[in-house]
Structure 1
Amino acid sequence: MNELSQYNYLFLDRDGVINVERPNDYVKNIAEFVFIEDSLKAMAILTQKFDRIVVVTNQRGIGKSIMTNSDLEIIHQYMISEIEKAGGRIDKIYYCTDLSNRSINRKPNVGMAFQAVADFPEVDFTKSVMVGNSFSDIQFGQKLSMHTILVGDKYKKEHKIHNNINAYYENLYKFADSL
């Protein structure tokens, strides 16, 4: 039995986990939204393994007026549609447009997690996994006693973040395939 079989709830970051992150930029439209290789396959697998799947994503580009809430909604509808076509699902997407790092909703702060519990009261953070590609994602999960998974190539193997995670996978598909 897989060690993660005790976990029922999945929290995912978006950029760098589901889609290709745009360094020093934002995904502002569907043309700029590119799924990471095999992330759609990963979502189909994860849908079978978790009772709830939510996305928690910082979207400062809206706060900076680089894009609008409407732009983001179009991107998210596209993402959900493609994930559903591939046999996966996302139960809800939570995002923070705030510019201040002190905002309760901006990761690594935990406001988006409590929004998820308000919508899905059965969610138990100690039975949750947080998958992200950045230090703020890992801190978010740790503050809530979640099992933390780092994906991607943002940090070299020697980086201190690797001392603070439960596991590392090259990408979301490798994580999903391990379950």
Structure 2
Amino acid sequence: MKIAILDRDGTINALGDEPFIASPDDWTPVPGALAAIARLNHGGWRVVIATNQPGLGRGLFDVAALNAIHGGMHRQLAAMGGRIDAVFYCPHAPDEACHCRKPATGLFEQICERYGVDAHEVCVVGSCIAHLQAGAAFGAPLHLVCTGAAAGLDPAAALPPEWPPGTRAHASLAAFAEELLAHDSALPAPPPLP
């Protein structure tokens, strides 16, 4: 099973002046992100989101608002022929010391347990350093997309030292999907079943 674990804010949806969104009206896709997810799906990849949502823990929005945001995201993606298999989120504020808030690995552990895969069988993709730090601690391959919080980074240049070693940088989610699917198509076909 091929699974890409994506961060949400800055990777799939654009952010305005705030570091989070609190209502469906705030949700706007990063250009090309939804088409990239649809391409991954059509290439045999399951896409799962792992996202910190501290606004829940701080009381800035409720679960109904979060579900409405994700409902709109799912509808827009379905209109493009794509899907997100599941959304895993941490509802805790940063001071709650939970195991699921990235850069802790709890969300990734939950995802791998649900799908019956190991860390090396997933791709961790995001624009947020905490998402990639969690992926590194979990032992998964890391892919940075230079959108959102990482928009100022050049994917062709060396990453600053605070980014986990071995992280591969891509200009966008679309560029990541293109490279991943090109790699998949270059792999030899499995032998036919007897």
Instruction: Report TM bin, short chain.
Output: 0.7 to 0.9
- In 1, the alpha carbon distance for the partners of 2:83 and 2:178 equals 17
Please give the secondary structure, in 1, of the residue aligned with 2:94. coil
Residue 83 of structure 1 corresponds to 77
Greater relative contact order (CA < 8 Å, ≥ 6 in sequence): 1
Taking structure 2 as the reference length, the TM-score comes to 0.81
- In 2, the alpha carbon distance for the partners of 1:132 and 1:23 equals 19
- Corresponding residue to 2:101 among 88, 101, 106: 106
1:60 paired to 2:61: no
2:178 alignment partner AA: D
1:174 paired to 2:169: no
2:55 alignment partner AA: G
Residue 165 of structure 2 corresponds to 164
CA RMSD, 1 decimal: 1.9
Taking structure 1 as the reference length, the TM-score comes to 0.87
Kindly tell me the number of residue pairs found equivalent between the two proteins.
172
Does structure 2 conserve the Cα–Cα contact (< 8 Å) formed by 1:150 and 1:168? yes
- In 2, the alpha carbon distance for the partners of 1:23 and 1:152 equals 18
How much does 1:9 deviate?
1.4
Does structure 1 conserve the Cα–Cα contact (< 8 Å) formed by 2:40 and 2:46? no
Q: Which runs of 5+ in 2 are unaligned?
A: 182-194
**Change in CA separation of 1:54 and 1:163 when aligned onto 2, cut-off 3 Å:** closer
Larger Rg: 2
- Once the two structures are aligned, what percentage of the paired residues are identical? 27
- In 1, the alpha carbon distance for the partners of 2:164 and 2:118 equals 25
